[in-house]
């Protein structure tokens, strides 16, 4: 086997291992948009940005905020929980 052929086979095997090792249950196109201000369950399968972090969990902010700014999330019972923007715009 030539060196070039061995490199091609190695590349194909690496790509196959990458696809087989990923979780294909939720693709990027299948992610629902998180409702703004609502606390999300710990099992939320999709990325959320920007994020407000509270002692009870995280919620999505409907605007871009700088990390460290105060924010609030709404619990299932309707109460508002204070938090801090943990992931947001880098501006």
Give the number of domains in the chain.
1
Instruction: Give the CA distances from residue 83 to residues 10, 27, 63, 71, 76, in Å, rounded to whole numbers and listed in that order.
Output: 48, 29, 15, 5, 16
Q: What is the pLDDT along the chain (91 residues), one digit of tens a residue?
A: 688 777 676 667 666 665 655 554 545 568 888 999 999 998 888 888 899 999 999 999 988 888 899 999 999 999 999 999 987 654 4
Listed in sequence order, the DSSP H helices in the chain are: 3-21
Q: How confident is the model at residue 90, as a pLDDT?
A: 45
CA separation for the pair 21, 69 (Å, rounded): 37
Q: What is the pTM of this model?
A: 0.61
Q: How confident is the model at residue 89, as a pLDDT?
A: 52
Q: How confident is the model at residue 58, as a pLDDT?
A: 93
**What is the domain extent for residue 66?**
3-87
């Amino acid at each position: 086997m030539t060196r070039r052929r061995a490199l091609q086979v190695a590349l194909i095997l690496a790509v196959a291992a990458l696809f087989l090792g990923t979780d294909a249950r939720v693709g990027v196109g299948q992610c629902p948009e998180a409702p703004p201000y609502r606390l999300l369950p710990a099992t939320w399968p999709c990325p959320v940005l920007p994020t407000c972090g509270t002692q009870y969990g995280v919620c999505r902010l409907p605007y871009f905020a700088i990390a460290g700014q105060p924010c609030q999330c709404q619990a299932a019972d309707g109460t508002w929980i204070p938090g801090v923007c943990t992931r947001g715009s880098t501006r």
